[in-house]
């Protein structure tokens, strides 16, 4: 019987089967992957265990560069995410950056309430700020699940905008690199992704106050 003490061993066994099956269908599989990566997409998603980027998009190793955090938040002082974005855009040359939220997100739900959970409170403050910005619309939704769903949409939209505001993305557009930023929401109940109408792909998509003028850079 599996106990907590050795439940991790299932993963090691699973890994052996994975390695064997990949090499069975293509003996060169790992040799080819080890040559390097050239992913077309950067995925910024929630850490939730039910939203694995490759699995829900039917893609494989080597296709998506991934960053995940609680409730898929883009903070421009987050050294971790900014390093990922800079590397993805400037070195890997991804053409599509996807911010993918998901309905039933515990982070979004926690941000709607008044409980204190610890360090994560500071992280969720970013989502409370999204709520406050859209409070007139959100407060009119009486059903809390529906309100959380709408906040999930709005959070993704805000994070797409936050990405576009970064110097990394603006500089890429200034240099005529083709980088599209997409906002998606994944449904835990049906496994389907909804594309939100928020795609950003040029400096004109950003509010003027946030735009950098690179001709005046010093």
Q: Which residues are catalytic?
A: 46, 48, 50, 102, 105
Piece in contact with Co ion (CB under 5 A), picked from 1-9, 19-27, 38-46, 166-174: 38-46
Bridge pairing between strands 180-186 and 96-102: parallel
The DSSP H or E segment spanning 174 is helix 167-174
Q: Which of residues 195-214 bind Co ion (CB under 5 A)?
A: none
Query: Is 48 an interacting residue with respect to Co ion (CB under 5 A)?
Result: yes
d(CA 46, CA 185): 10
Q: Which is nearer to Co ion, 102 or 182 (CB)?
A: 102
Q: Which is nearer to Co ion, 89 or 154 (CB)?
A: 154
CB of 100: closest distance to Co ion in angstroms?
A: 10
**Treating both helix axes as pointing N-terminal to C-terminal, what angle do 144-165 and 120-133 enclose, rounded to 10 degrees?**
100
d(CA 79, CA 138): 31
CB of 122: closest distance to Co ion in angstroms?
A: 17
Tokens of 138: 């959100």
User: Using the rule CB under 5 A, which residue among 98, 99, 105, 181 binds Co ion?
Assistant: 105
Q: Which is nearer to Co ion, 48 or 153 (CB)?
A: 48
d(CA 208, CA 200): 14
Query: Is 46 an interacting residue with respect to Co ion (CB under 5 A)?
Result: yes
Piece in contact with Co ion (CB under 5 A), picked from 45-53, 75-83, 137-145, 148-156: 45-53
Piece in contact with Co ion (CB under 5 A), picked from 47-55, 79-87, 140-148, 198-206: 47-55
- Using DSSP's 3-state secondary structure scheme, residue 137 falls into helix
Q: Which of residues 51-90 bind Co ion (CB under 5 A)?
A: none
In DSSP terms, which residues pair with 44 in a beta bridge? 67, 99
Q: Which of 45, 141, 61 is nearest to 101 (CA)?
A: 45
Please give the residue ranges that form the binding site for Co ion (CB under 5 A).
Answer: 46, 48, 105, 107
């Amino acid at each position: 019987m599996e106990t907590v003490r050795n439940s991790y061993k299932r993963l090691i066994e699973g890994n052996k089967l994975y390695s064997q099956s990949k090499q069975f269908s293509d003996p060169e599989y790992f040799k080819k992957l080890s040559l390097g990566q050239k992913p077309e997409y950067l995925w910024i998603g929630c850490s939730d265990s039910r939203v694995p980027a490759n699995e829900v998009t039917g893609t494989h190793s080597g296709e998506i560069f991934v960053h995940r955090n609680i409730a898929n938040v883009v903070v421009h002082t987050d050294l971790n995410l900014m390093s990922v974005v800079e590397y993805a855009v400037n070195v890997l040359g991804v053409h599509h950056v996807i911010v993918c939220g998901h309905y039933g997100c515990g982070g979004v739900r926690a941000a709607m309430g008044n409980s204190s959970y610890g360090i994560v409170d500071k992280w969720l403050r970013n989502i409370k700020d999204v709520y406050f910005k859209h409070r007139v619309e959100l407060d009119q939704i009486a059903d809390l699940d529906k309100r959380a769903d709408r906040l999930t949409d709005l959070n993704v939209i805000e994070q797409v905008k936050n990405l576009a505001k970064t110097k990394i993305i603006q500089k890429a557009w200034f240099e005529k690199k083709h980088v599209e930023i997409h906002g998606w929401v994944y449904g835990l109940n049906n496994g389907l992704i909804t594309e939100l109408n928020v795609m950003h792909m040029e400096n004109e998509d950003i509010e003027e106050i946030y735009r950098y003028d690179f001709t005046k850079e010093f």
